[in-house]
Amino acid sequence: MDTEKRILSIAIDGPSGAGKSTLARAAAKELNLLYVDTGAIYRTVALHTLRRGVEPRDAAVEALLPEIGITMEYDPGGLQRMFLNGEDVTTLIRTQEVSMAASAVSAHPAVRAFLLEMQRDLAKRRSVIMDGRDIGTVVLPGADVKIFLTAGSEARARRRWLELQQRGTSKDFEQVLRETRERDANDMNRAAAPLRPAEDAIMLDTTEINFEESLERILAIIRGRTGL
C-alpha cells in the first residue's frame, strides 16, 4: 500500500490535562504531520463571548456566532496561531478564565455545529494529528488511528498547575483541582458530543508514565497502524 500519498488522520481525545497537546505536537513533529489543536478554536469562541459580556452557559451565545470570524495560521515550527476577526489571540486564549468559558460554550450544539466543518476541512487537505474531545467520535469518525489519553484528575490538575506557574499566573492547587473536575463533568455530561472514547480508540493512561514514555507509546501506536 502506498501510504506516502494517502492523507492520514490521527485523532487524540481525552480530558484536559491528560497531556494531549504536548504529546500530539511532539508526535506530529516527529512524524511530519500537521498538529491541529481544536480546543484553541473553542477557546477563541469563548474569548469573544467573555468580551461581549455574555454568560458562556447562556443560550445567547448562539446569537454571537455570526460575529465570530476564526482563522488559523501555522508557523514553520508548527505553532498554531489563532485569529479572532483578524486579531492574533494565540496567547490571550490560554488563561484559566477562558478554559472554563470554553468548556461552557462547547456544550451548545450550535457552537459545535458552527465549528465542525472547519475542523473537517483542515483534515481533508493535509495529514493531521488532531486533538480534542470528540475527534474520534464526531469530527473524524473515519480517522486512521484513534487514541484516548487519560490520567487521574490529581495528576492532570498538577500538570495544569505547573503550567500556570510557569506562565507566571500561579493559582492555588486545590482550586485548579476543583476546576479540572468541573471541566471533566461539563465535558463528559453534556448532551452534544460528550467526551468519551470512540469504540475503536486505543486507551492510554499517562498517570504513571512520563512524557518521553508516553510519546514513545503514541509513536509506536501510530507507526504500527499507519506504516509511517
Q: Which is nearer to ligand DC, 93 or 222 (CB)?
A: 93
Which of 9, 38, 153, 226 touches ligand DC (CB under 6 A)? 38
Q: Are 50 and 97 in contact (CB under 8 A)?
A: yes
Q: How far is the CB of 4 from ligand DC (least distance, A)?
A: 28
146 contacts ligand DC (rule: CB under 6 A): no
Query: CA-CA distance, 11 to 144, in Å (whole number)?
Result: 8
To ligand DC, the closest distance from the beta carbon of 64 in angstroms equals 16
Q: Decide if residue 56 touches ligand DC (CB under 6 A).
A: no
Task: Give the footprint of ligand DC on residues 205-224 (CB under 6 A).
Answer: none
Q: What is the DSSP letter of 136?
A: I
Q: How far apart are CA 25 and CA 78, in angstroms?
A: 8
Strand ranges for the chain from DSSP E: 9-13, 34-37, 70-74, 80-84, 87-88, 128-132, 145-150, 202-205
Q: Which is nearer to ligand DC, 28 or 228 (CB)?
A: 28
* Span interacting with ligand DC, options 1-9, 25-33, 127-135, 157-165, rule CB under 6 A: 127-135
Q: How far is the CB of 140 from ligand DC (least distance, A)?
A: 10
Concatenated DSSP letters of 45-109: HHHHHHHTT--TTSTTHHHHGGG--EEEEE-TT--EEEEETTEE-TTGGGSHHHHHHHHHHTT-H
Q: Does 187 bind ligand DC (CB under 6 A)?
A: yes
Give the angle subtended at the CA of 189 by the CAs of 185 and 193, to the nearest 5°: 120
- Under DSSP, the state recorded for 32 is T
Q: What is the residue whose three cell numbers read 469530527? A: 139
Minimum CB separation from ligand DC for residue 115, in Å? 8
Per CB under 6 A, which of residues 96..125 are in contact with ligand DC?
99, 102-103, 106
Closer to ligand DC by Cβ: residue 127 or 137: 137
> Which residues of this protein are in contact with ligand DC, per CB under 6 A?
16, 38-39, 42-43, 99, 102-103, 106, 132-135, 183, 187
